[in-house]
Structure 1
């Protein structure tokens, strides 16, 4: 673990006063708007903490403020209100720093604008280090390429690489300078599904091995459930929830989080009662895998759609007033139009809409 500095960092804000007892990255009452035909509020009143040596994923629907939050953390945007602090010191905004971006952080954006398209992989990564010590430059570049599993691409031009390979080079460029924090905006967008899990495991291994702190944005929560230590959930620029992925999945604090993480069935009290759930709660959350189906000729529900997903199926059933999504094993013999009874194996109650 890196000790908290007693003197201001090189990119400190003049006359700033250190604040003790904060998480590694602390945002307080952050707000930011953009001017269009009418002002667009990207984030509003965000207060959050990000722990050191962990992977934190910022998730939410499109337009929820995820990328804006990431850029506020890095210092690429100036907040309209509030502040971001890193190790207790305020992160300088673009007006306060000649080259925006905190010195202890590096960002990998969605595109590959920083990559030199017609240079090879080695030069793209090595170019981030000075020539003051060529032995160190060589050894650190080589180690970073091996860590990202791209040492075999050393002589390949960036223009000849796949999207997933370019992503690894972009991450290597960021890591070769040994930052304390790596920020990534939609890092798996251009990575094929077959390589996504490998890249996630490699990032997770780097965090565990080096103590790197990773903050990433994802539009697909399923991408980050297995690798993140903490999720920050945004909606319309507001903080909805922040906790461990497993806890938020099993006990979502509201319907928005439940739909985002599990595409849940959100039931009113009356709908839940019709399914045999007796509760005083106004909202009942039932994940698709918390339901089971059984053929029953006289049941009120019937199968309206079946989506084959490999080892499981997503089955849509409905009766006269209610539609449900159910996840069942692929070995289950179901057909469109089949009458089925629905059994609730588990549910979560919540009074939030």
Structure 2
């Protein structure tokens, strides 16, 4: 079943004259309900501008933002900017009451007309985000990542239709980040919440998003399911955003067994097989970088440097001679 548009940008432009940051230009984008849409792009590409336009924090120069068919009002038309059925979480947590408890910070956004419902909703959102153990802690005593989780809980407790996340996991410790992402995915599945997030981390968008939108210089370059864009990115820009990749000329790529008539070849680090070389000219291991469950090798031949992923830790050391062969590649 094809989902209808919930939130839509219709030929929207917002430019910042005199600045290097261009904003967004002629962007048309449908946000489907009950899904996580991730917007990725280089710094200054217009990601955060698009999020602010959706929320109504800024007004477009051209075009319009529509929510459920109605135009989203900008700050010139609304006393308190921001759409009532949306909540936005940024990297900043300045609006938290540092000397109040986590539970009170979350509960304060709910009315006191029904105290039982207020308690149930607050307890429920803390449980959904696995934060019950933080309920009685003062915010001032929390880490930056824990404060970020409180900010997300505050946004979710009012049960918005759309949750907008601007680099939401930047300050969250790596050990908790994946769990928090899974929690949000589960909330989306259970409640039908619609999430639009901006991120620079490929791991976040590939594991969380239902739809991926790539933006460059204020314009949408391509969009699609994360798995499809990773395997077949239509642009080199997308490939470089989503993974570590080697960008070579077709002549250089021949050293990896690639024959192509295209000028530019991109090869993900995990698309390269490595074997030890006992005879003949080969690649030399210049650096071995420990990455946890794998290593990344920096290898060189004829002033050509390539990165390759190695899962057999300890097998290679600096100065070793190796053979490389690409089993997959992208052409541009």
TM-score range for the pair, normalised by the shorter chain length: over 0.9
Give the match for residue 315 of structure 1: 297
> What's the CA shift for 1:274?
4.2
Unmatched tracts of structure 1, length 5 or more: 2-20
- Partner Cα separation in structure 2 for residue 332 and residue 289 of structure 1: 17
Q: Which sections of structure 2, spanning at least 5 residues, go unmatched?
A: none
**Runs of at least 4 residues off by over 4 Å:** none
Per-residue deviation, residues 230-274 of structure 1 (Å, max 9, x unmatched): 111122222122111111111111111111111211222222334
- The answer on whether the counterparts of 1:22 and 1:87 sit within 8 Å (CA) in structure 2 is no
The alignment covers a number of residue pairs equal to 330
Cα RMSD (Å): 1.8
1:287 Cα deviation from its structure 2 partner: 0.7
Sort the Cα spacing of 1:295 and 1:174 in 2 relative to 1 into closer, same or farther, 3 A: same
The within-5 A match list for 1:1-353 is 23-36=5-18, 38=19, 40-296=21-277, 297-331=279-313, 333-350=315-332
Deviation at 1:330, TM superposition (A): 3.3
Retained in 2: the 8 A contact 1:298–1:339? Answer: no
Name the CA distance, whole Å, in 1 between partners of 2:62 and 2:263.
Answer: 36
**How much has 1:35 moved relative to structure 2?**
4.5
Return the offset for 1:300: 3.3
Secondary structure, aligned partner of 2:91? coil
Contact 2:40 2:213 in 1 (8 A): yes
How high is the TM-score relative to the length of structure 1?
0.88
Q: Partners in 2 of 1:112 and 1:54 — Cα distance?
A: 25
> How much does 1:94 deviate?
1.1
The answer on whether the counterparts of 1:33 and 1:39 sit within 8 Å (CA) in structure 2 is no
What SS does the corresponding residue of 2:177 show, helix, strand or coil? helix
Per-residue deviation, residues 193-224 of structure 1 (Å, max 9, x unmatched): 01111101100110011000111111212222
SS state of the match for residue 112, structure 1?
coil
Distance change in 2, residues 1:286/1:91 (3 Å) = same
- CA 1:332/1:348 → structure 2, altered by over 3 Å: closer, same or farther? farther
The whole-number CA distance in structure 1 between the counterparts of 2:289 and 2:20 is 41
